């Protein structure tokens, strides 16, 4: 993974003398040497020239120390945070490139800013500095991915699709090994050895055998919302209602990432069996599944199949709810009719009764007696208003 680096600028250096001053000091040393030789021939004060020569040497030593200090203060990597199995390779990379950086800085200090060799030296310094930053970030990211993988495994967040495809087997054998064999590339990324093959760390970010995906909880929650809607609606999904559900499912699956679609096939969040494994007693698919749907060229067919398969599931839920509500309604109708008949029979018994004597052991007579008594009480309480 490459990162944008801040270009090297002369005014960002710890001391401008690193590039400019070091070059001036070198020129001064050369000029004084020439003056010293001329002085010997012309009879000048050789002691004064010697002092100037020593001063130039002192300045040159100062510039050298300044150069080392700057190189030591450049972006680097805290080796303590690096996995023990990677430290030797990281140390070698740092040492080699520090030397290259120092050499480029020395070269730049001896050249004019408009010299092509100067620009090349500055470019080398920027590239090395950038590679240190990139390597540091990649090593941090590797550690984060390792810890995140362990956490996702512990909490059962990883999709069954990544397990079936063998991705988790690769990661288990790689992450649990502390003796990492890596090759660091000039840009700061690296490759890591797994079973004899060097795998680019960038593959951990791509849809490869060294990446994994989580259960698509968002997608399953959307399906559950539609399921609850179908359950509570209590109506058959057909005609305009079916069109409405189709529209929602098509919108859902047509915008879904491929790894999330795999989760909707393999993960049993809301079912007991993966969708592509639903079979009859003869082992034949009962929902129209075809293994060729997994081929990337059949992506559209896969999306259509998922939408239609989940629609059929919603239809079954809706039909079950409809039948249940219909049965409850029918029972209420039967209960109301039965009650009406009992009341009618009781009234008829009152009319047919020749006396107020009732056989209370007979349920119908008992009900007629209750009706009769309530009628009598109503008659007694009836108030007749006086008339003029």
Tell me: the pLDDT tens digits for 359-387? 677 777 777 777 766 766 655 544 444 43
- Phi first, then psi: what are they for 214, rounded to 5°? -95, 165
Please name the residue that has the structure tokens 């800085």: 105
User: Is the predicted pLDDT of residue 11 greater than 80, yes or no?
Assistant: no
Integer Cα distance of 253 and 247 in angstroms: 10
Q: Which of 130, 138, 134 is CA-nearest to residue 86?
A: 138
pLDDT of residue 98: 87
What pTM value is reported for the model?
A: 0.63
pLDDT in tens, 118-160: 999 989 988 998 999 999 999 999 989 999 999 999 999 999 9
pLDDT in tens, 338-360: 887 777 776 666 666 545 566 67
The Cα–Cα gap between 143 and 137 comes to 10
> For residue 180, what are its two tokens?
């990492």
Question: What's the CA dihedral at 315, 316, 320, 323 to 10 degrees?
Answer: 60
pLDDT for res 109: 82
Domain-by-domain residue ranges, the chain?
Answer: 10-168, 217-327, 335-381
pLDDT score of 312 more than 80: yes
Round to whole Å and give the CA distance between 345 and 366: 12
Tell me how many degrees the CA angle 320-326-327 measures, rounded to the nearest 5: 90
Q: What are the pLDDT digits (tens) for 233-273?
A: 989 999 999 999 999 999 999 999 999 999 999 999 998 99
pLDDT at 85: 84
Quick one: 82 exposed, middle or buried, by C-beta within 10 A (0-12, 13-18, 19+)?
Answer: buried
Q: What is the DSSP string of 165-194?
A: TTHHHHHHHHHT-SS--EEE-TTS-EEEEE
Q: Estimate to the nearest angstrom the gap between the alpha carbon of 174 and the chain centroid.
A: 21
- Torsions phi, psi of 212, nearest 5? -145, 165
Residues in the chain: 388
d(CA 142, CA 178): 13
Burial class (CB in 10 A: 0-12, 13-18, 19+), 280: exposed
Spatial neighbors of 3 by CB under 8 A, at least 6 apart, are: 130, 133, 134, 137, 188
- Virtual torsion, Cα 190, 193, 196, 197, nearest 10 deg: -40
- Strand, coil or helix: 279: strand
pLDDT at 8: 41
* pLDDT the model gives residue 68: 52
Q: What are the tokens at 255?
A: 């915008």
Number of Cα atoms under 13 Å in the Cβ half of residue 224: 10
- Please state, in angstroms and rounded to a whole number, the distance separating the CA atoms of residues 139 and 144: 9
Nearest to 180 by CA among 200, 159, 194, 168: 194
């Amino acid at each position: 993974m490459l990162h944008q680096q801040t270009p090297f600028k002369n005014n960002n250096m710890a001391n401008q003398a690193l590039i400019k001053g070091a070059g001036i000091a070198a020129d001064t040393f050369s000029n004084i040497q020439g003056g010293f030789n001329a002085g010997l021939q012309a009879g000048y004060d050789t002691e004064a020239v010697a002092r100037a020569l020593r001063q130039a040497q002192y300045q040159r030593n100062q510039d050298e120390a300044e150069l080392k200090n700057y190189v030591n203060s450049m972006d680097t990597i805290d080796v303590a945070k690096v996995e023990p199995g990677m430290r030797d390779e990281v140390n070698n990379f740092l040492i080699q490139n520090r030397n290259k950086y120092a050499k480029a800085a020395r070269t730049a200090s001896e050249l004019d800013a408009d010299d092509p060799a100067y620009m090349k030296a500055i470019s080398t310094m920027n590239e090395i500095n950038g590679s240190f930053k990139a390597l540091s970030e990649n090593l941090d990211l590797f550690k984060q991915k390792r810890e995140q993988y362990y956490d996702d495994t512990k909490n059962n967040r990883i999709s069954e699709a990544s397990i079936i495809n063998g991705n988790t087997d690769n990661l288990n054998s790689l992450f649990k090994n502390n003796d990492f064999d890596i090759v660091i590339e000039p840009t700061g990324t690296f490759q890591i050895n797994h079973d004899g093959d060097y795998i680019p760390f960038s593959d951990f970010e791509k849809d490869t055998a060294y990446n994994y995906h989580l259960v698509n909880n968002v997608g399953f929650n959307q399906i559950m919302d539609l399921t609850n809607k179908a359950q509570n609606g209590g109506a058959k999904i057909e005609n305009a209602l079916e069109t409405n559900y189709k529209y929602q499912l098509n919108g859902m699956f047509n915008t879904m990432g491929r790894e999330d679609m795999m989760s909707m096939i393999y993960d049993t969040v809301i079912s007991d069996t993966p969708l592509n494994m639903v079979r009859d007693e003869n082992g034949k698919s009962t929902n129209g599944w075809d293994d060729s749907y997994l081929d990337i060229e059949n992506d559209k067919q896969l999306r259509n199949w998922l939408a239609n398969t989940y629609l059929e599931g919603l239809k079954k839920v809706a039909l079950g709810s409809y039948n249940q509500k219909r049965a409850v309604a029918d029972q209420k109708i039967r209960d109301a009719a039965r009650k009406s008949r009992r009341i009618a029979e009781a009234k008829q018994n009152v009319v047919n009764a020749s006396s107020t004597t009732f056989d209370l052991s007979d349920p119908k007579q008992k009900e007629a007696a209750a009706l009769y008594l309530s009628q009598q009480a109503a008659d007694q309480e009836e108030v007749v208003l006086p008339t003029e």
